[in-house]
Amino acid sequence: MSGMHYTVVQSSDIKIVGYDRSRELLHIKFHNGTEYAYANVPYSVVRELLEAKSVGRYFHQNIKEKFHYERVYT
């Protein structure tokens, strides 16, 4: 069973946020269809992302380029 929990967010850039707390693995799926996995992201960062007034701004300022990431191909 997957530990990934998904949340649809209100953002002009980001469509879905997925997070596996046990692995500290964050998935970000964008409206354009691309998806990226970010490693070693603490739950506190994900909580702040989901509670942010601007999800996209928080992502760009606090996650993008700050955590190791790979593109997810489905």
Domain count, the chain: 1
Provide the CA 13 distance to its chain's centre, in angstroms: 12
On the question of pLDDT at 42 being above 80, the answer is yes
Q: What is the mean pLDDT of residues 45-72?
A: 97
Residue 2: the pLDDT is: 61
On the question of pLDDT at 64 being above 70, the answer is yes
What is the domain extent for residue 33? Answer: 4-72
The pLDDT > 70 percentage for the chain reads 97
pLDDT band at 21 (very low <50, low <70, confident <90, very high): very high
On the question of pLDDT at 1 being above 70, the answer is no
CB crowding 49-63: b at 16 or more within 10 Å, else e: beebeebbebbeeeb
On the question of pLDDT at 63 being above 80, the answer is yes
